[in-house]
């Protein structure tokens, strides 16, 4: 099955950057002042990098932008809600794998991946001084999930 790649302008960066339904990002051709005239700079695919917590981002004019947020903004609309990766793969930014959730919903889904044994091990790593991001990467959950365990907002019945 061949999936057609669809490109849309990135909100607030129209005419400069586009994002595809498959999670790729590109700059567009542009003319910039050069000497007494202009120079054409061809558009190109933007290199994607990994954040410490496992998400892909691109650099836009000295600003880091998470790719999953760009995809959702362009194809669904801008929102302050959390972006949830349906298959839990943080690097899979296909629009079909993304959805907006409020923080509470996103946390419930993420914590559903954990069981009492895992949470007990997480609490031990917290006592050992590991960061939320480090522990989240080990267990495949968001650092906010670990923060909620650390601050005893969830899993309070587990030692």
Task: Give the Cα separation of 105 and 101 in Å (integer).
Answer: 6
Task: Give the Cα separation of 9 and 104 in Å (integer).
Answer: 30
Residue 73: C-alpha distances to residues 89, 112, 127, 145, 148 (Å): 19, 27, 39, 24, 27
DSSP character at residue 94:
-
Answer whether residue 8 shows pLDDT above 80.
yes
Instruction: Report the pLDDT value the prediction gives residue 155, as an integer from 0 to 100.
Output: 87
72 CB neighbour count, 10 Å cutoff: 22
- Rounded to the nearest integer, the mean pLDDT of the chain is 91
Distance of CA 89 to the CA centre of its chain: 10
- Domain residues of the chain, as ranges? 7-101, 107-150
The whole model's pTM is what? 0.71
Task: Give the Cα separation of 87 and 102 in Å (integer).
Answer: 17
Answer whether residue 28 shows pLDDT above 90.
yes
Instruction: Report the pLDDT value the prediction gives residue 2, as an integer from 0 to 100.
Output: 58
Residues in the chain: 159
The CATH number of 7-101 is: 3.90.75.20
């Amino acid at each position: 099955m061949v999936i057609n790649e669809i490109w849309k302008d990135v909100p607030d960066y129209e005419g400069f950057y586009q994002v595809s339904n498959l999670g790729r990002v590109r700059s567009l051709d542009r003319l910039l002042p050069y000497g007494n005239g202009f120079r054409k700079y061809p558009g190109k695919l933007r290199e994607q990098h990994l954040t410490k917590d496992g998400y892909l981002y691109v650099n836009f004019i000295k600003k880091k932008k998470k790719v999953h947020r760009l995809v959702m903004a362009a194809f669904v609309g801008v929102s302050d809600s959390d972006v949830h990766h349906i298959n839990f793969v943080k690097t899979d930014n296909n629009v079909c794998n993304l959805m907006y959730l409020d923080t509470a919903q996103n946390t419930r889904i993420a914590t559903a991946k954990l069981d009492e044994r895992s949470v007990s091990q997480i609490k031990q790593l917290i006592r050992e001084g590991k960061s939320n991001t480090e522990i989240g990467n080990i267990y495949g959950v968001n650092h906010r999930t670990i923060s909620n365990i650390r601050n005893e907002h969830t899993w309070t019945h587990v030692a």
